Amino acid sequence: MAFLIGLALAYYLITGPLRHKFASGVSTPTRKQQIFFYSAIVLLYIVKGSPIDLLTHIMLTFHMAQLAIFLLVVPILIIKGIPEWIWRKIVKNRFVEPVLNILTKPLIAILLFNGLFSLYHIPDIFNFTKTSQVAHTSAALILFIASFIVWWPLLNPLQDRNDIHPLLKLAYIAGNGVLFTPACVLIIFATHPLFNAYSQDGAWIQALALCVP
């Protein structure tokens, strides 16, 4: 909660009273942008800081609901909520730009995100991430970064870089939906429990200890 409040405060200061220290001649974010960003902060707390995070270690249903909001909703709100001039400063960084130019190519972006998502839900890998705080946090952070990469080609706020034809964007969304399916199919049509964290008492207790010492 302290981290997210600090993040919200930093957004308010950088885009408001202190914006002229970071860029000249820029305006404050629109009301819609502010709503998007602060909504993202609230949702982040709900899925990562509230008791819902505890429930994700008890029931797979809550885990999947958490991922849906964490990876498919929050990144959209953050991308749409941060003003273009801030994104331009981030993207134009000489270390960020060359990497972003490669990873946000549509085919690479959807293969990267969906590949990591499916890999994460391979039972052995999933079970391992539920036994180590470092592995659990690292996996969540990597998927969160990948989710920004997969949404970037569709929502790129830099007008001079947003050059994908609307029909290609539809094809991109459809392709992303298809590639998102394997991990879900693996779980839906499994004939036996896949994840020890939800089916074995010892593993369940160990997974629960990640957020309830």
Tokens representing 109 are 């972006």
Per-residue pLDDT tens for 161-181? 777 888 998 999 999 989 988
For the segment 131-145, the average pLDDT, to the nearest whole number, is: 92
**Assigned domain for 201 exists:** yes
More confident residue, 54 or 41: 41
Extract the tokens encoding 94.
């000489």
7 in any annotated domain: yes
Percent of the chain residues topping a pLDDT of 70: 99
Quote the pTM value.
0.89
Give the domain extent around 80.
2-208
- Is residue 82 included in any domain, yes or no? yes
Tokens of 121: 């839900």
Q: What is the DSSP string of 50-111?
A: SHHHHHTTT-HHHHHHHHHHHHHTHHHHHHHHS-HHHHHHHHTSTTHHHHHHHHTSHHHHHH
Q: pLDDT confidence of 31, banded at 50, 70, 90?
A: very high
Q: What is the CA radius of gyration of the chain?
A: 19
Residue 160 in any domain: the answer is: yes
Residue 9, amino acid: L
Contacts of 11 (CB under 8 A, 6+ apart): 37, 38, 82
What is the spatial distance between Cα 196 and Cα 130, in angstroms, rounded to a whole number?
9
CB distance 211 to 134 below 8 Å: no
* Residue whose token pair is 């970071």: 22
Residue 21 belongs to some domain of the structure: yes
Residue 213 falls within a domain, yes or no? no
**Of residues 163 and 195, more confidently modeled:** 195
Q: Are 80 and 156 in contact (CB under 8 A)?
A: no
Higher pLDDT, 169 or 197: 169
* d(C-alpha 133, C-alpha 151), whole Å: 27
Q: Which pLDDT value is given to residue 58? A: 84
Other C-beta atoms closer than 10 Å to the C-beta of 164 total 14
Give backbone dihedrals phi and psi of 36, rounded to 5 degrees, phi first: -60, -50
Binning pLDDT at 50, 70 and 90, where does residue 213 land?
Answer: low
DSSP for residue 157: -
Q: Give the count of domains, the chain.
A: 1
* Residue 24 in domain: yes
Q: Is residue 154 part of a domain?
A: yes
